[in-house]
Amino acid sequence: MTFRKLQKSDIAAIRPYFHTSSRVCTRAVGVLYMWAKPSQTEIAFYEGGVVIKNTFGGTEYFVPPQGENAAKGFRLIEEYVRQTGGALRFCSIDDEDLKQLFLRYPAIEIESHRNYADYLYLTSDLAEYRGKKYHGQKNHRNKFFREYPQYEFLPFGEEDLPLIYDFLERHKALAPRSREELIEYDACFKLLGAMDSLDLLAAMIRVDGEIAAITVGEILNDTLIIHIEKALPFYEGVYPTICSLFAQKYADKATYINREDDAGDVGLRTSKLQYHPIELIDKRNALCSFSRPLPIGTVFTDRLVIDEFTPANLPAYAALATDDDRNRYWGYDYRRDLGTDPPDAEHFGREIREDAARGVCYSRKIADLSGRFLGEAVLYRFRADGSAELGLRIVRDAAGNGYGREAYRAIADAALISLPKLHARCYKSNEPSRKMILAAGFSSVGEDEEMLYFVREK
């Protein structure tokens, strides 16, 4: 596939492929276009569908393929990832997508972040403000009606955009703005500039001929997605008023209203919670692993034996896996998949066997020549190009003796006999791991806010 930046001229071509039952805001074409620049959104069309790729912090994520021929889209994504050597990551995952991914890939790691969960409301709740829980919003709306009886609630269109742009500039100038806020204003201008191509719903409140508030949304299935809601704060009660009037206007077209996420902003979170959402919708990410048979036998070094776990090793392994201090840099908390199991040898032994049977993760015991258990090496996160990631952890009593460095180099050498490439990563604050990885012949290939990334080829 050849990707190119998403342009306004692509909107009409993309829209027919967006047939989804989702209520996630990022599955609306308006959101896709509005945030295309900060998300570095790129597209690639193929016969029967479109592939959408976003890049966040240097990491590529794909929206699950849209269109009738989704299977072909998945194959093209996998081929692209194989050629580029990246990991297979998807974003904007809803329940329907998740079913497809579990049917296609043997191992999936799901991520969801509270800061990016969408707030879903009943349209009737926001239209009517009924009951005690909406007492505050209703009072503010009624006060606005009393203070500004001459207000007008009007739709607006392309012909009104110069006035709307002036309003946004005035709103932006009310206070010093953070970098994130300025990016949002740019996204608002971009969205409004595509009104002629998008099916947007837009309205404003005017008081004495001056614009006091605007709101812009888009219908996605049974849900009204709110893309923009801005108001001048010195019109007391204007925010709950425009929220309610907009909900009333489209109550016959949308059962639900999605007011999108709060991006971790404390003020926004407080406000959105005060409107009493009926659900927080996760916008999940998924890291999908390919399976691969891995014919690695016993590996010997001067001091170590690295081979498969036996039942006798499992109690010591369970102690290592549940040692929070030793695992603070491991990047995985055993509790996530524990369920109702006790964290004992039986549970961890079963996890090792099942992962190996699926070909998605291979655990190897590290022991000294006397058989004393020292730690674990894992080969996991197989990529489409056949490469994998290598991780290692050592028990507390054996730390500081160079066992990790010795084992890491040895298992890397053995794995690269059958694998084309190995990946590694460590937290920036974990200096011993960085030195261990570099000593095993890996090269630095990048970093993000938390991690350093490495690769070693044959």
Instruction: Kindly state whether residue 276 falls inside one of the protein's structural domains.
Output: no
- 345 and 223 in a common domain: no
* Number of domains within the chain: 3
Element (H, E) at 319: helix 314-321
- 219 and 343 in a common domain: no
As a whole number of angstroms, the distance between CA 8 and CA 18 comes to 16
- What CATH number did the domain enclosing 428 receive? 3.40.630.30
pTM > 0.85: yes or no = no
Other Cβ atoms closer than 10 A to 404: 24
Listed as ranges, residues in the chain with pLDDT below 50 are: none
Instruction: Kindly state whether residue 11 falls inside one of the protein's structural domains.
Output: yes
CB 92 within 8 A of CB 65: no
Helices (H), 105-234: 123-128, 135-147, 161-172, 179-192
As a whole number of angstroms, the distance between CA 121 and CA 277 comes to 5
As a whole number of angstroms, the distance between CA 32 and CA 39 comes to 9
Q: Which of 92, 116, 140 is the last residue of a domain?
A: 116
Instruction: Kindly state whether residue 273 falls inside one of the protein's structural domains.
Output: no
Q: What is the pLDDT of residue 441?
A: 97
Instruction: Kindly state whether residue 396 falls inside one of the protein's structural domains.
Output: yes
- 74 and 129 in a common domain: no
- 421 and 324 in a common domain: yes
Please give the residue range of the domain that contains residue 445.
Answer: 290-457
- 316 and 253 in a common domain: no
Instruction: Kindly state whether residue 392 falls inside one of the protein's structural domains.
Output: yes
Residue showing tokens 């995985």: 332
- 294 and 429 in a common domain: yes
As a whole number of angstroms, the distance between CA 61 and CA 83 comes to 15
Q: What is the pLDDT of residue 254?
A: 96
56 - beta bridge partners? 59
Query: Helix or strand or coil: residue 434?
Result: helix
Q: What is the pLDDT of residue 196?
A: 95
Instruction: Kindly state whether residue 274 falls inside one of the protein's structural domains.
Output: no
Q: Nearest Cα to 23, choosing from 256, 201, 284, 247? A: 256
As a whole number of angstroms, the distance between CA 449 and CA 428 comes to 8
As a whole number of angstroms, the distance between CA 202 and CA 154 comes to 9
Q: Which of 73, 97, 116 is the last residue of a domain?
A: 116
Query: Helix or strand or coil: residue 443?
Result: strand
Q: What is the pLDDT of residue 69?
A: 80
Q: Nearest Cα to 249, choosing from 360, 393, 370, 123? A: 123
- 348 and 231 in a common domain: no
Instruction: Kindly state whether residue 268 falls inside one of the protein's structural domains.
Output: no
Instruction: Kindly state whether residue 265 falls inside one of the protein's structural domains.
Output: no
Other Cβ atoms closer than 10 A to 112: 14
- 178 and 105 in a common domain: no
- 314 and 213 in a common domain: no
Write out pLDDT tens, residues 292-326.
888 888 999 999 999 999 999 999 999 999 999 88
Q: What is the pLDDT of residue 19?
A: 66
Element (H, E) at 270: helix 266-274
- 21 and 157 in a common domain: no
What tokens appear for 63 in the block? Answer: 């929206």
Q: Which of 101, 116, 131 is the last residue of a domain?
A: 116
- 107 and 198 in a common domain: no
- 306 and 170 in a common domain: no
Write out pLDDT tens, residues 220-260.
989 999 999 999 999 999 999 999 999 999 999 999 999 99
List, in order, residues 6 or more apart from 274 with CB less than 8 Å away. Answer: 136, 137
As a whole number of angstroms, the distance between CA 150 and CA 320 comes to 70
